[in-house]
Structure 1
Amino acid sequence: MVLKIENRRFAEKALTYLLVGSQMDGIKFESEVSAISLTFTHYDRREDDAFVLTIETAWTVYDKEPYSYPSSEEEVPSNTEEQHFKHIWDIKRQKIVNVQLSDVSPHLIISFESGNILFVNGHDPNYECWQLGDHFAGGNNEWLLVAVPGDDIAVGSPQHFQ
């Protein structure tokens, strides 16, 4: 199965608007052992300034673009909690320069100005892997992007965003 091209295009447009130019400047460990939330803030605009990415699947940070990205959670390099802390430390306060989704599943690929890349698995047949929205950041609850089961992505956005 391939991620529906129209969903992918719209989601990438929304992700680019929401994240490019922002900086990762917050972290919260969720009640589930493996879940983590990262806050991204735009310091150069007032509206839509903060978004939270909640990750409930495997993720890693690469120091450069890999030859190929993992296709499932099992292929994501496993990290200890200390290694995850180091990954977060390495990307803190760096500006995001690019965001994309993979062709097959909504794997989230976020590139930082240093060349580091945050990869979040987007494939699970039964569960949501990640979600990005403004509702956790105290926003007006207009934005929500979710990697849903079945290798698709759901997007909730303001009516004016097309």
Structure 2
Amino acid sequence: MSTTEHEQATSILHHLFTASSFVGIDFGSGPNHHLLYFSRQGLESWISIEGPWHVHATQSTFDEGEQLEQLMRLRRERIHHVRLGDEHPHLELEFESGSLLFINGYQEHFECWQAGDARPLGGDAYLLVAMPQGELAVFADGDDE
């Protein structure tokens, strides 16, 4: 991903998620597929996770059930900081408690995550997709493509 793409994606992610609260989850077809919903002053955003993820917190484990419990403890908690990986689009959401949700951004053959601002899925003004091979697709209102 180019520096320009990284800067644009980081700006969009901050717009979508900084100071928003984690408000809900839908469970997908597999153990790593989840759809997370966020809200801030009437604005809704979402992240669809299709690959490995985990919550870093005190006494954190990598058992799926315990990780889901950790994630559910973050319900209604606000996001303090958003970070996008430099080389690959790994996504980190840091919550006010200090807990960190890490979403893997690299997979050889499949998309790892998508994020947008229209519910249930899609992008009204913004859609980001962590593509195979660590690429990132950014669709923003006003793009020529």
TM-score, shorter chain, exceeding 0.5: yes
Matched, 1:135 2:118: yes
Which segments of 5 or more consecutive residues in structure 1 lack a partner in the other structure? Answer: 65-76
Deviations 1:34-84 (A, max 9, x none): 310100111x2x4xx1111110111011127xxxxxxxxxxxx97333212
Aligned to 2:2: 4
Matched, 1:61 2:47: no
Task: Determine if contact 1:126/1:149 at 8 Å carries over to the other structure.
Answer: yes
Task: Determine if contact 1:50/1:137 at 8 Å carries over to the other structure.
Answer: no
Aligned to 1:81: 64
Aligned to 1:52: 46
- Provide the C-alpha distance between the structure 2 equivalents of 1:151 and 1:40, rounded to a whole number of angstroms: 25
Instruction: Specify the SS of the correspondent of 1:150.
Output: helix
Task: Determine if contact 1:27/1:36 at 8 Å carries over to the other structure.
Answer: yes
- Provide the C-alpha distance between the structure 1 equivalents of 2:114 and 2:27, rounded to a whole number of angstroms: 15
Mean Cα deviation higher: 92-101 or 29-38: 29-38
Shift of 1:31: 2.5
Q: Which has the higher strand share?
A: 2
One-letter identity of the residue aligned with 1:83 = E
- Provide the C-alpha distance between the structure 2 equivalents of 1:28 and 1:117, rounded to a whole number of angstroms: 20
Shift of 1:95: 0.7
> Normalised by the size of structure 1, how large is the TM-score?
0.79
- Provide the C-alpha distance between the structure 1 equivalents of 2:28 and 2:118, rounded to a whole number of angstroms: 16
Aligned to 1:15: 13
Give the one of 110, 118, 136 matched to 2:101: 118
One-letter identity of the residue aligned with 1:35 = H
Identity of aligned residues (%): 32
- Provide the C-alpha distance between the structure 1 equivalents of 2:109 and 2:53, rounded to a whole number of angstroms: 18
- Provide the C-alpha distance between the structure 2 equivalents of 1:91 and 1:107, rounded to a whole number of angstroms: 20
Give the one of 94, 100, 109 matched to 2:77: 94
Shift of 1:12: 0.4
Which segments of 5 or more consecutive residues in structure 2 lack a partner in the other structure? Answer: none
Give the aligned length: 142
Shift of 1:11: 0.3
One-letter identity of the residue aligned with 2:6 = R
